[in-house]
Structure 1
């Protein structure tokens, strides 16, 4: 059963698990902690209902601006090094023309370097993000919002040096390593979602999480529009200066305006195995709140995490194929239509937020998630048979609620653990999200060419079928919860 709602906390307030006790008997201690730590009271106080949303928006903007530009830069540099000065052929080009072996080599090398860069970030982040997330439960959230942005800024500096000096592209790995050691974007995700969990009551948490996810979509759409046009006009260097400036602005905002949601413990150490043990304890026992539900509570934690893994893997995996599917026959889209399709996909973040807000008035969160999954399934089925532009955009339209499930799952996971475990939880969720990207990208990019001979859209149909698994788990757990609530109310 859910515990009683707590009062909503304003962004300027400090929330702890023992807030009342702190005010009643620990005012002097709290003031001493504030005085000895620069992370509780920022220099400026924000009274508007905005907390960490600008941090996530700016960080995501820099990431979405940087990712496609770095891939295109790799393509151009490798082409220059190999002496290839052609352009990539469209998927609708004459099939009788044999592929250029030099172009094939450029494509392979670019894909390999992208893989190496991703693996460096993932492997380092796998150890660093849980460490930072669990540490933030003791040391406060603001360090986890500031440090990774500084690391991302250092990565941008390394990329700029490589571009200015025309260094070998292998130096990109140095920038990725610096970013990974500071937690990378996943640590920012963990910190922002944990902050929202700290500063929201159980009733409003889902919509607050959905607002954060809408920030991801909006910033991604804005960055994709700006980045492509800017690169064509001025090349790569100037956009990367904006990447650097955006990361620094995000870190500066967190330092100046974000008031910490956890009273920091000055004795909290970062480099200790205690933080990894906290993550292990969370998933092996169900966390500090597991006593109320026992084994069932722990199973719910694992099952909701499995649902999150499957849903996000489908999101990442199918997204990898949209452009390739649209470029090739029979759609043969140009850059303008591809841009409209990307905009339609990102607008679904806003429509999902609006739909979630409306549906919460009449439905439990679990049923809202099922509606979102149904929207995603129907859209994917349409994509699987789309052979005209109209049908493809119909699929985008039917997916207008496809992002309603993930904020519900994040919220449900958050409600299963205690206030002192939110950082460890969302750090684990961020690591799972990175794993989703690797699994989804590898699976769908392998499945697409393997099924072209019998059904071009089969990967989308496969994705729709997989989504029935989390839908069944969410629906079953909701029915079990309702049955337990009815039994408890009857007994009382």
Structure 2
């Protein structure tokens, strides 16, 4: 009897979105390390007038990443919108399956570039194909949509962070082994072939899983139907207080009516009794309903924070390959693993703090964690200092999943995909701004302060904390108003 139960449980797990997330992230981390090292090797002989060899290599690498990442962020805009519409009309798996096919093609093309020694420019075409499939802009909102549908409103932040945790653990494992796998080679094909072949295989398995095994699960939740959208733990308290008050007043009204009926039977003329209106729980709903100002502030915070994080990460890969760090492939893998480890610490932070503080406070804690760590990164001159700076980013991944959770609670289930894809598109437009901005600033400051871009990133993160703080003040005022009433 135990064997069928175990098989049934395993089958249920395989039909969820988590295995797709794990397989995709394992393949992506292997690909990221391979791409980073291939670009370094191809740009090793770059020469720029009036620049040293190392600075010329840095400029060639950052120019490639700027164009490549701009293509990846620009081309998915229309396809992701179309896929989100399909999702909200019932085709929930389409925004998962189609982008995964683009992932597979992108990884396969880099494998061909390494095997047949094609020019690095071929990867620009691979980026176009990746973008036309929707890319990450369609894939990750689809993952969050399926996660939202399969969870209750009260547990949504925790469930989303659990998905982020699996995403981070898979990235951690993939990054740790990616540097070692890159050094392996098959016959005369060169370094990176085994690594890229494994990455392509993982994406193929991921695509097949999403086509044949993935199922859409939707949880019916009373809290969702009531549309309680307050963004602080005070929401539950205010709603419970309103319901208790409604119950008490209804009981008092029934008692008064019974007393009035008894008096009516006696021959006594009394003034008409004016009944007090009953305060019901839907009053909380009216006050806690869809708040466009809150949604705008959440979008602003997400865009500013993505601008800061994305801009820093954009140049971090090139920064660690230059002196004084001068990392090898193995060290690059370990560095990527340190970045993925933040998924684990962020998840543990949410689990430990979510019962003590509101979602707004969680976002602020995460932003403060990133701002301090990336500011310290400005002055990194050795590998141990790099890991020390990374250790300050323990909670840096809390803000965006929490913002997605709050946004999903502001709209009905039929609009989950649309609102989450809209957020992802806003982040893509932020990418169109920060990629050239941070790249050019980094190239201009290579001589006197290469870490200046990290200081700039820290300052923008502080700006992102302002709209979040406004949301916290507004939610506190709303709660005090409800209690006063």
Normalising by structure 1, we get a TM-score of 0.72
2:465 to 462, 471, 475: 471
Q: Which residue of 1 aligns with 2:34?
A: 69
Q: Which residue of 2 aligns with 1:134?
A: 85
How far is 1:356 from its partner?
0.8
Q: Which residue of 2 aligns with 1:229?
A: 180
Spell out the pairing of 1:441-452 with structure 2 (5 A cutoff).
Answer: 441-451=435-445
How far is 1:300 from its partner?
1.5
- Runs of 5+ consecutive residues of structure 1 not aligned to the other structure: 1-42, 89-96, 264-290
- Classify 1:388/1:188 alpha carbon distance in 2 versus 1 (closer, same or farther; 3 Å): closer
Q: Which residue of 2 aligns with 1:269?
A: none
- Classify 1:227/1:454 alpha carbon distance in 2 versus 1 (closer, same or farther; 3 Å): closer
- Runs of 5+ consecutive residues of structure 2 not aligned to the other structure: 1-7, 186-190, 220-284
Q: Which residue of 2 aligns with 1:242?
A: 198
- Classify 1:122/1:423 alpha carbon distance in 2 versus 1 (closer, same or farther; 3 Å): same
| Cα distance in 2, alignment partners of residues 294 and 483 from structure 1 | 12
8 Å Cα contact 1:56/1:188 also seen in 2: no
Spell out the pairing of 1:85-484 with structure 2 (5 A cutoff).
Answer: 99-100=52-53, 104=56, 111-234=62-185, 235-261=191-217, 297-326=291-320, 339-387=333-381, 391-451=385-445, 455-484=449-478
8 Å Cα contact 2:145/2:417 also seen in 1: yes
1:53 to 2, 12, 18: 18
How far is 1:432 from its partner?
3.0
- Classify 1:239/1:141 alpha carbon distance in 2 versus 1 (closer, same or farther; 3 Å): same
| Cα distance in 1, alignment partners of residues 131 and 148 from structure 2 | 24
8 Å Cα contact 1:196/1:208 also seen in 2: yes
8 Å Cα contact 2:315/2:439 also seen in 1: yes
| Cα distance in 2, alignment partners of residues 153 and 336 from structure 1 | 24
| 3-state DSSP of counterpart to 2:378 | helix
| Cα distance in 2, alignment partners of residues 453 and 76 from structure 1 | 23
Normalising by structure 2, we get a TM-score of 0.73
| Cα distance in 1, alignment partners of residues 375 and 31 from structure 2 | 32
- Classify 1:117/1:383 alpha carbon distance in 2 versus 1 (closer, same or farther; 3 Å): closer
How far is 1:45 from its partner?
8.2
How far is 1:108 from its partner?
5.5
Which deviates further from its counterpart, 332-341 or 441-450? 332-341
- Higher Cα Rg, which structure: 2
How far is 1:163 from its partner?
4.5
- Classify 1:98/1:411 alpha carbon distance in 2 versus 1 (closer, same or farther; 3 Å): closer
Which deviates further from its counterpart, 306-315 or 329-338? 329-338
Which deviates further from its counterpart, 239-248 or 215-224? 215-224
How far is 1:397 from its partner?
2.0
Deviations 1:176-195 (A, max 9, x none): 33332222232211110011
Q: Which residue of 1 aligns with 2:268?
A: none
How far is 1:110 from its partner?
5.3
Cα RMSD for the two superposed structures = 3.5
Q: Which residue of 2 aligns with 1:39?
A: none
| Cα distance in 1, alignment partners of residues 338 and 382 from structure 2 | 16
